[in-house]
């Protein structure tokens, strides 16, 4: 069959798109307005996005946007038959770790995958996408008719409006666009770590302040309590790290085991004691363009109150400014003392002034 005037073509010349739940909207019933401009101006997409129910346990962090997330830690996409963030959240919550998602009605700029990866996912989005009914071909069907897909997209890191950078693509003469994109992130995108010996996240933590590791000196016995750290760089490959506190918890416990063999009686410890990993923080490093690029764990032998945490604006080796995001604090269940705080504002039994040798007891440290 020959190409028709609208760019449509028979399956003899161009192949069908991969299987999808194709949703026809009133904006596409008349071929005369089947254009990306009309798609982006279709009011119903944005109205639906603005009145959509926010799923229980999630925060809405971006609404009715004309772009999906551009990020490193893509964890999967699911096609829907209706614009339903609650369904997206149900899928997200069923994944090993899902922190956020986005939902959108696009025109074909999300990777065309109808599957979920067996990997952690921390965020998700939902949107409308304008897709071609047929795979565009520069000779046979450069600009085929369009259809609308509704997609949930899942992420293994935090997401924000600043990451709405995926606004479509050009496939031959067909323009893929996105509309009505909503972003959601879990209010508590974390696991219960009691099986690993930790409780948390502690309620005193703040989302963008971290402990300055070198400054946390035990106030009574004057020894550093920072005992190590870990950084995992986000990557597009599925085996790359996600925002996952179990990574920090397991490394914290391994550090304790290592020190029990290699650092017995190391300063200031005596009588068989060694530095245990009793508290850790987890956070994301975020560049000034709002793109998170790694998770970081800090390990401490002593529990500290979050009053010692500060807003950090650092820089990497390339000179890019960095901030902290999604900061959480976890503490060992068997650590006996309250968090250390000797500031003037710290008064009461919920604080501790030091001197107990990071939980070992006074007889296990040399005292100045």
Residues 169 and 201 in one domain: no
The tens digit of pLDDT for each residue in 247-286 reads 999 999 999 999 999 999 999 999 999 999 999 999 988 8
The gap from C-alpha 239 to its chain's centroid, in whole angstroms, comes to: 15
Average pLDDT, integer, range 307-317: 79
90-143: pLDDT as tens digits: 988 887 666 777 876 544 433 333 334 333 445 667 788 988 988 898 988 999
CA-CA distance, 288 to 314, in Å (whole number)?
10
pLDDT value, residue 255? 98
- Of the three residues 188, 221, 254, the one that is the final residue of a domain is 188
Domain match, 158 and 17 both: yes
Q: Which of 86-90, 112-116, 324-328 has the highest mean pLDDT?
A: 86-90
Please tell me whether residues 48 and 159 are part of one structural domain.
yes
Same structural domain, 180 and 278: no
Domain termination site, one of 134, 164, 188: 188
SS3 70: coil
pLDDT digits (tens, 9 = 90+) for 194-249: 889 999 888 777 778 889 888 899 999 999 999 999 999 887 665 667 788 989 99
Same domain, 154 and 213: no
Measured CA distances, 153 to 124, 128, 175 (Å): 5, 11, 20
Please state, in angstroms and rounded to a whole number, the distance separating the CA atoms of residues 120 and 347: 41
User: Is 258 found in the same domain as 141?
Assistant: no
Amino acid 188: pLDDT:
66
Are 29 and 126 contacting, i.e. CB atoms less than 8 angstroms apart?
A: no
Q: Is residue 238 left, alpha or beta, with left meaning phi > 0 and alpha meaning psi from -120 to 50?
A: alpha
Q: Are residues 206 and 149 in the same domain?
A: no
Domain end: 188, 210, 240, which one?
188
The pLDDT of residue 72 is: 64
Asked if residue 178 and residue 144 are part of one domain, the reply reads yes
Higher pLDDT, 195 or 191: 195
> With 60 as the cut, is the pLDDT of residue 153 above it?
yes
Across the chain, what does the average pLDDT equal? 81
d(Cα 108, Cα 166) in Å, to the nearest integer?
A: 10
Please tell me whether residues 51 and 118 are part of one structural domain.
yes
Q: How much is the pTM?
A: 0.65
- 133 and 208 inside one domain: no
Count of the separate structural domains present in the chain: 2
Q: Which domain range does residue 354 map to? A: 190-368
Say yes or no: 64 and 151 in one domain: yes
In this structure, the answer to whether residues 175 and 213 fall within a common structural domain is no
């Amino acid at each position: 069959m020959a190409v028709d005037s609208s760019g449509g073509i028979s399956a003899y010349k161009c192949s069908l798109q991969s299987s999808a739940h194709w949703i026809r909207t009133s904006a596409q019933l008349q071929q005369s307005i089947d254009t990306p401009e009309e798609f982006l101006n279709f009011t119903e997409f944005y109205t639906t996005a603005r009145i959509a129910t926010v799923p229980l346990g999630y925060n809405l962090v971006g609404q009715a946007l004309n772009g999906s997330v551009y990020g490193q830690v893509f964890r999967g996409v699911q096609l829907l038959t209706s614009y339903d963030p609650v369904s997206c959240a149900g899928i997200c919550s069923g994944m090993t770790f899902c922190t956020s998602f986005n939902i959108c009605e696009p025109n074909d700029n999300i990777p065309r995958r109808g599957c979920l990866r067996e990997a952690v996912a921390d965020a998700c989005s939902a949107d409308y996408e304008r897709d071609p009914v047929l795979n565009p071909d520069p000779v046979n069907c450069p600009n085929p008719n369009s259809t609308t897909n509704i997609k949930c997209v899942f992420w293994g890191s935090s997401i924000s409006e600043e990451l709405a950078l995926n606004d479509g693509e050009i496939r031959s003469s067909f323009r893929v666009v996105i509309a009505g994109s909503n972003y959601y992130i879990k209010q508590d995108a974390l696991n219960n770590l009691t099986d690993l010996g930790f409780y948390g996240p502690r309620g005193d933590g703040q989302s963008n302040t971290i402990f300055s590791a070198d400054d946390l000196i035990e106030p009574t016995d004057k020894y550093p309590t920072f005992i190590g750290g870990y950084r995992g760089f986000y990557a597009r490959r599925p085996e790359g790290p996600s925002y996952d506190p179990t990574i920090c918890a397991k490394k914290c416990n391994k550090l304790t085991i290592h020190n029990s063999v290699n650092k017995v009686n190391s300063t200031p410890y005596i009588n068989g004691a060694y530095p245990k990993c009793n508290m850790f923080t987890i956070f994301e490093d975020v560049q000034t363009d709002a793109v998170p690029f790694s998770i970081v764990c800090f390990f401490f032998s002593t529990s500290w109150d979050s009053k010692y945490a500060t807003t950090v604006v650092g820089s990497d080796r390339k000179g890019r400014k960095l901030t902290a995001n999604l900061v959480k604090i976890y503490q060992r269940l068997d650590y006996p003392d309250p968090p250390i705080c000797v500031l003037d504002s710290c008064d009461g039994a919920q604080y501790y002034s030091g001197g107990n040798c990071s939980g070992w007891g006074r007889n296990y440290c040399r005292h100045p």
